[in-house]
């Protein structure tokens, strides 16, 4: 099982054109070398605001080369001194801007030290926003003793990602690189998601879902790496760096010209949904992404729904990839994703056939769900009396048998596929919570960084970051992890009997 849980590989990190800085081992995507025009601030107030904002960058000890950080501090001092004492100069605002650019160059030239965990260093001018991307410099650095070269992009872009998670104090981010790069040993890509996992005190539920989806044979399971993220010199916590929905481990590889698309199951109130369709028979709403023809996408979804409702195996197999649906049913049933059918549930269309996946947004799963949030699904999830079996134990009860999955399970051939899939995954499932198993291995590899997420980055493990997560008040990361392992063991005990 150790081979299955290896979380890094020794790949070369290179540009899209294959070039590399061999002296430093750092691949850098630079800006255009065209001669820039002279720039200047528009006013004293603008110069002051920009210089003082950039000066707030602090390079924490243990993460940065101190001599390079001192050079940045010197550049800041030079800019501030000029700002304060030379307002009568004829080219004052232009000179301020030149000193400001020197501050940026000195900041981005700071060497990043390696620690016991992979690291992502992000420098950005101003505030990272949710509504649009802004320019940033980003560096991905392997842990000490690792063999993965560092990747640096001085023309990357960043924005806050997510819906409810975007409102949390610990922000998740989307990163767009200016070219495809191999990041932290993963396959080459230009888009990367930095998941904060702030609603999950163990920080590992999303990683568990990605791992299980890949083991089960789910479609386009995202690849991922844990890393500590530094924003403008400050540690902001442990993150899961992963491929986005469109670029999973097996690659969704959507070809819009061929009629491919991605459909996200959403409710009518879902924010940000634009190109949506509603199925004819069950009235299920899907947000369609990357579709060249929305009408064609609707036709594909309706045909699949009608085939599923018919229960006819031949018709169903013509419209959907039943293996991916069985795999993802097992993953969602085992982990009991609270938001299944409410959002972040994806189906990909390839060559007119629907594949279930990739798995996404699983922080509110595996028991990490409030039993008092005033929505009926939360009471059903937790078996709060008189809902479900009334036991109050969220590890019990069938959950994922909803909508299309419920109708599919009514077809004997699909139910048999699910049972076979679950039986084949039993060793993987039992290894999750076993002594020295997958979860223990994750903690052994990343436990120090998980602890720093709360001690050094300052996030409070004893507080609730959202009204949706478990109401349990944890005293330590170890307590949260042991509770997760216990929940998985009880869940597996229930499902083994269900799928006999």
Q: What is the pLDDT of residues 284-316, one digit of tens each?
A: 999 998 888 899 999 999 999 999 999 999 999
pLDDT tens-place string over residues 85-116: 888 898 999 999 999 999 999 988 887 888 99
Tell which wins on pLDDT, 379 or 252: 379
- Is the pLDDT reported for residue 232 higher than 50? yes
pLDDT band at 168 (very low <50, low <70, confident <90, very high): confident
* Residue 66's pLDDT band (cuts 50, 70, 90): confident
Mean pLDDT over 122-142 rounds to 92
- Name the pLDDT band for 270 (thresholds 50, 70, 90): low
What percentage of residues in the chain have a pLDDT greater than 90? 72
Q: How confident is the model at residue 1 (pLDDT cuts 50, 70, 90)?
A: very low
Quickly state the pLDDT bin for 269 (edges 50, 70, 90): low
- At 21 the pLDDT is 34
pLDDT at position 26 is 40
d(CA 250, CA 204) in angstroms, rounded, equals 21
Predicted TM-score (pTM) of the model is: 0.86
Give the confidence band of 268 by pLDDT, cuts at 50, 70, 90.
low
Quote the pLDDT of residue 208.
97
For 226-255, b where at least 16 C-beta lie within 10 A, e where not — what string?
bbbbbbbbbbbbbbbbbbbbbbbbbebebe
Return the half-sphere exposure (C-beta side, CA atoms, 13 A cut-off) of residue 468. Answer: 15
pLDDT value, residue 35: 44
pLDDT band at residue 157 using 50, 70 and 90 as cut-offs = very high
Res 368 pLDDT > 90:
yes
- What percentage of the chain reaches a pLDDT higher than 70? 90
The whole-number average pLDDT for the span 182-207 is 95
Per-residue pLDDT reduced to its tens digit, 136-153: 999 999 999 888 988 899
Segment 402-426 mean pLDDT? 97
pLDDT surpasses 60 at 327: yes
Query: pLDDT digit string (tens) for 31-49?
Result: 333 444 568 899 999 999 9
Identify the residue with better confidence: 130 or 238: 238
pLDDT band of residue 273 (cuts 50, 70, 90) is: low
State the pLDDT confidence band at 183, using cuts at 50, 70 and 90: very high
CA dihedral 199, 229, 332, 294 (to 10 degrees): 100
pLDDT value of residue 167: 79
pLDDT at 230: 95
* Residue 292 or 211, more confident: 211
């Amino acid at each position: 099982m150790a081979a299955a849980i290896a979380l890094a590989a020794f790949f070369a990190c290179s540009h899209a054109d294959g070039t590399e800085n061999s002296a430093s081992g750092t691949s850098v995507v630079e800006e255009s070398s065209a001669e820039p025009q002279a720039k200047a601030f528009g006013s004293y107030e603008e110069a002051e605001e920009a210089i003082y904002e950039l000066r707030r960058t602090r390079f924490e000890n243990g993460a940065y080369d101190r001599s390079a950080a001192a050079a940045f501090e010197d550049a800041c001092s030079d800019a501030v001194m000029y700002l304060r004492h030379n307002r009568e100069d004829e080219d004052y605002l232009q000179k301020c801007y030149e000193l400001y650019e020197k501050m940026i160059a000195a900041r981005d030239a700071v060497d990043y030290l390696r620690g016991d965990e992979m690291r992502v260093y992000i420098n950005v001018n101003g505030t990272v926003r949710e509504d649009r991307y802004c320019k940033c410099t980003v560096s991905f650095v392997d842990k000490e003793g690792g063999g993965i070269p560092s990747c640096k992009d001085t023309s990357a872009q960043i924005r806050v990602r997510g819906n409810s998670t975007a409102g949390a104090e610990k922000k998740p981010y989307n990163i767009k690189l200016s070219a495809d790069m191999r990041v932290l040993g993963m396959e080459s890509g230009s888009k990367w998601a930095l998941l904060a996992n702030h609603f999950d005190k163990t920080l590992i539920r999303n990683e568990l879902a990605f791992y299980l989806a890949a083991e089960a044979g789910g479609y386009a399971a995202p690849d991922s790496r844990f890393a500590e993220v530094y924003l403008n010199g400050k540690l902001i916590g442990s993150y899961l760096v992963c491929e986005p929905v469109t670029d999973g481990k097996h690659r969704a590889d959507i070809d819009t010209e061929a009629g491919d698309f991605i459909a996200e199951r959403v409710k009518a109130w879902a924010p940000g949904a634009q190109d949506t369709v509603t199925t004819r028979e069950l009235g299920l709403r899907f947000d369609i992404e990357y579709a060249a023809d929305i009408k064609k996408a609707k036709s594909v979804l309706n045909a699949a729904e009608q085939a599923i409702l018919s229960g006819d195996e031949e018709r169903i197999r013509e419209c959907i990839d039943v293996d991916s649906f069985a795999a993802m049913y097992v993953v969602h049933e085992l982990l009991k994703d609270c938001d299944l059918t409410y959002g972040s549930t994806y189906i990909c269309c390839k060559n007119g056939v629907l594949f279930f996946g990739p798995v996404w947004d699983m922080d509110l799963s595996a028991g990490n769900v409030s039993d008092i949030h005033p929505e009926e699904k939360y009471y059903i999830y937790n078996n709060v009396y008189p809902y479900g079996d009334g036991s109050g134990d969220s590890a019990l009860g069938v959950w994922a048998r909803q909508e299309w999955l419920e109708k599919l399970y009514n077809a004997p051939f699909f139910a048999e596929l699910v049972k076979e899939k679950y039986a084949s995954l039993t060793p993987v499932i039992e290894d999750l919570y076993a002594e020295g198993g997958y979860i223990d291995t994750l903690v052994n590899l990343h436990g120090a960084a998980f602890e720093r997420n709360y001690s050094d980055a300052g996030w409070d493990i004893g507080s609730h970051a959202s009204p949706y997560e478990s109401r349990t008040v944890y005293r330590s990361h170890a307590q949260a992890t042991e509770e997760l392992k216990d929940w998985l063991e009880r869940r597996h005990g229930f499902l083994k009997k269900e799928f006999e």
